[in-house]
Structure 1
């Protein structure tokens, strides 16, 4: 089998699983790229198989074993240094060992500072999942107002709504419109102490001092 690198006719004797010859294997290990400049050294800029930009910066604090640094991580390091801010979505504290630098527009070679944010691993994983609206799931309520559809629980968390999800559903079952169910002020009942009734003169008031009735 021939090396997969374009223009290379060498056989993949030592690294057939990677599809590259020995020369290109060691070139990648040393320089982080299969390409060479006219001076025989690795390019200062390259990209990995997923399209992430990498810079040749052997002395950088975030340098990898191949001597390269991911450009998006360098951009954030230039802004914050060694101490990162917490996860932008959940507020969890992160370090350079645990942080994920997310591309907001999902274009992995757009490393403009305004397109990058710090996330924890969990938020970065959840961000990449396809979002399924709660109201489309089996057994969930579905309430639409002004073209926006949410469950009762989601509407109850809206800052304009001051009632619980159970109250919203109760109101809908009793014939209220969606707007009325969500935005009608909650009726509060005042709790008053029981009135003390003073017996009329001569009315029997029960035994006194533990005495048994005659």
Structure 2
């Protein structure tokens, strides 16, 4: 006498073609355990948070329609703000003037605070300048780096001291700022005690 074989049953949930967990249960493993967890067979959509913080401290904003957003729909907030400020491009690196695009550029936080995404604290750099730029900034107040803005350009005291129009050292710039001078005076006002040494030092570096 031939043995009677049980007919294979499939999940009875609409749209699912997986095999049923058993002949006595009309759903597959996935729907079986989903019902045990949630009390329902349909998938519960999880609402994404509008803002999340990256493990490295950067803020991400949920904006799936943005041209720079990732697959998950998030975009780094500093890139979102910088894009609104500078536009499509192409652009130039603010330190070396190299041509850069949004696929190659880095958005730099001038004061090194990754959560400070104010437009005036962001600038566009190439990968090399962003990676190798000097992180030391001397002029600080309450332990926080203070960017120096002159004519719409924001740099650290170290970077301003390397400017061709500056004839003083970064230490002099800091002392001047602390004494109450305006940023422009602190950087570009000449001082007899520093002119000859600083100019000579820069000339020697250029010759190298």
**Which of the pair is proportionally richer in helix?**
2
Pair member with larger Rg: 1
State the TM-score, normalizing by the size of structure 1: 0.45
State the TM-score, normalizing by the size of structure 2: 0.46
